[in-house]
Amino acid sequence: MSREILSVRGLNAAYGEAKVLFDIDMSVATGQIVACVGRNGAGKTTLLKSIAGFLKPTSGSVIADNTPLTGKKSYDIAKFGIKYIPQDKKVFFDLTVRENLELGSYATKDYNWDRVLGFFPKLQLLMGRKAGYLSGGERQMLMIARAILGSPKVLLIDEPTEGLAPGIVTQLRETFRELARSTALVIVEQNLPLVCAIADKVYAVRDGRIVAELVGPEEISVAACERYL
């Protein structure tokens, strides 16, 4: 039985004078994969940043697991279990894969790497390599691996497949399905076939507003998503 793990109500956000998000309402349940789709500049990344505490909302509320998070510091929100994985795949270049993972472990006190390496066995072979020398796909794996240490409640993933080879995208799709068994996922994604393959719910974002909510395989399709782009 799934329960609501993340609830966003009447969220408004702005960059200085420029209002970017308008009265956003969304909810995410445990074990759910929720996707946000929309054109570039629609406000999808801003929505994730507002939930993760990197942009202070001007009004509205973010509640996770019955705990209000609005106004909390980003690192407190991360500690609470709402982890944000940004779009740019910038891991800590000068640190090795092992050190990058250790940073995740130290923050969460979760030193059990078997689970994360179960998702990404390739990382085991790259432990001593500096993260700056990894490919785009390997960096994405490392960022997700680091974020899932400590078993977060919700993962906010921004454009995870951008610039990745089709093979890696397929692998990530399976990983997301596996991850969703224990962690709710909110994914901002432009790859509509991927979204349709994995999402339980889709929010279409246009000009900072949610213009549609598609639930279940009956409603979610590439054609339905494209209608709102």
Sheet holding 4-15, edge to edge: 18-29, 4-15, 59-64, 67-68
DSSP 8-state class, residue 131: G
What are the structure tokens assigned to 183, written together?
A: 């962690």
Interface with another protein in residues 36-55 (CB under 8 A): 52, 54
Segment interacting with another protein (CB under 8 A) among 4-12, 90-98, 168-176, 180-188: 90-98
Q: Determine, following the binding rule CB under 8 A, whether residue 79 of this chain makes contact with another protein.
A: yes
- What is the distance between the alpha carbons of residues 158 and 36, in angstroms, rounded to a whole number? 9
Compute the least distance from the CB of residue 152 to another protein, in Å. 10
Q: Determine, following the binding rule CB under 8 A, whether residue 153 of this chain makes contact with another protein.
A: no
How far lies 40's CA from each of 44, 106, 139, 216, in Å? 8, 35, 23, 25
Q: Tell me the backbone φ, ψ of residue 22, rounded to 5 degrees.
A: -125, 115
Q: Determine, following the binding rule CB under 8 A, whether residue 56 of this chain makes contact with another protein.
A: no
Q: Determine, following the binding rule CB under 8 A, whether residue 103 of this chain makes contact with another protein.
A: yes
Residue among 148 and 204 whose Cβ is closer to another protein: 148
Would you tell me which residues interact with another protein (CB under 8 A)?
A: 52, 54, 73-76, 78-79, 83-86, 90-95, 99, 102-104, 106-108, 146-147
